[in-house]
Amino acid sequence: MRSRYILVLLVLCLLNQTYGKDLQSVPLFQRVGALKVQIEQCEPRGTIDLTRCPINLQRDEYLKIYQDQCLQFKINDKNHHTQASDYCRNTGGQLLTVKDQFKEAFVVGALSSYNFYGNVWLGLSDAVKEGEYRWVTGEVSSYFHWALGQPTPILSAVEDCVLLKMPGGQWYDQGCDLPLDNFPWICEYPLRELPTTQTKTQSTRQSTTTQTTTKATVKPTTKPTTKPTTKPTTKPTTKPTTKPTTNATKQPIAKSTTSIATSGETDTWRTYRRPH
C-alpha cells in the first residue's frame, strides 16, 4: 500500500508540474499523454533512439518519436500556414496531422513539457471545399477537437486553416496567410530503416555470391581438358606414317634397275650372234 501511495503522489506531482493551475480543465487522456512525455524525459540517455529520424534533423530536445514518426517541434519560430507547410515538405516531412486522441495527447504533453502555452499550426484546412476539412495528405478528417463555437460560421470565408491552442489542445479555425497569421508549427517525418539491418543484408548477399562463384569455376574446367586431348593424338599419327613410306620406296626402285640391266645384256648378246 505504501508503494502505491508513493506512486500516486509522483503521478500527481508530475501532472501538476506539467499543467499547473489548469490541471482540472485538461481532459484525462491529455494528462496521460503529458505524463508519458515526462516519464520519457526521465529515462536514461539513449533509451529513446533518435537515430532513425532523418539525418538532416537536428538532434535536440525538440525532436521526439511517436510510434513510427519523428516529430520536430518548431515552437521557437513563427510563420504563415503555407510557409510552415513548405518548410516541412522541403525537409522531407509534412505539417502535423492529428487523427486520434492518443496522438493529440502526446503532442499536448510534449508542448506542456516545454512550458509552451501558445498556438501551433495543424496540417488541416478546408481551402479546397468549404466545410470539408482535409489533412495535408489529402485525407478527409474524421477526428476533431473543436473548441466551443468553432469553427466560426461568420468568418468561414477567410478562416480556412486550423490551430491547436494550448493548454487544452482544442482546435480553432484561423486565416492561413493573413498578416497576423504567424504561429509556430510541428513537422512529422517517417522513421528510417535501421542501419544494422541493411548492413547484415548486404554482407549476406556478398557471402552467397562468393560461394556460388567458387564451386562453379573449379569443377567444370579440370576434367574435360585432360582426357580428350591425350588419347586421340598419339595413336592415329604414329602407325600410318611409318609402314607405308618404307616399303613403297625401296622395292620399286630395285626391280626397275635390274630389269633394265638384264634387257641390256640380252640385246648385246643377240647382236653379237647374228653373223653366224
Tens of pLDDT, residues 25-52? 455 544 544 454 444 444 433 346 899 9
pLDDT score recorded for residue 232: 54
Q: Which residues of the chain have pLDDT under 50?
A: 1-25, 29-30, 32-34, 36-47, 197-199, 209-210, 212-214, 216-218, 248-250, 252-273, 275-276
Asked if residues 140 and 128 have their Cβ atoms less than 8 Å apart, the reply is: no
Q: Give the whole-angstrom CA distance, residue 87 versus residue 220.
A: 61
- Long-range CB contacts (< 8 A, 24+ apart) of 173-181? 174/81, 174/119, 176/80, 176/81, 176/82, 176/125, 176/127, 177/80, 177/81, 177/82, 181/80, 181/81
Which residue is associated with the grid cell 525538440? 62
Confidence at residue 226, expressed as pLDDT on a 0 to 100 scale: 53
Q: At what angle do helices 28-42 and 101-113 cross, to 10 degrees?
A: 50
Q: Would you mind telling me the total number of residues written for the chain in this entry?
A: 276
Instruction: Answer yes or no: pTM beyond 0.95.
Output: no
What backbone phi and psi angles, to 5 degrees, belong to 75?
-85, -10
Distance CA(166)–CA(16), nearest Å, equals 16
- Please tell us whether the domain made up of 2-194 is placed in CATH 3.90.960.10: no
What's the confidence (pLDDT) of residue 214? 46
Strands (E) located in the chain: 63-66, 69-79, 94-95, 119-129, 132-135, 161-165, 170-174, 183-190
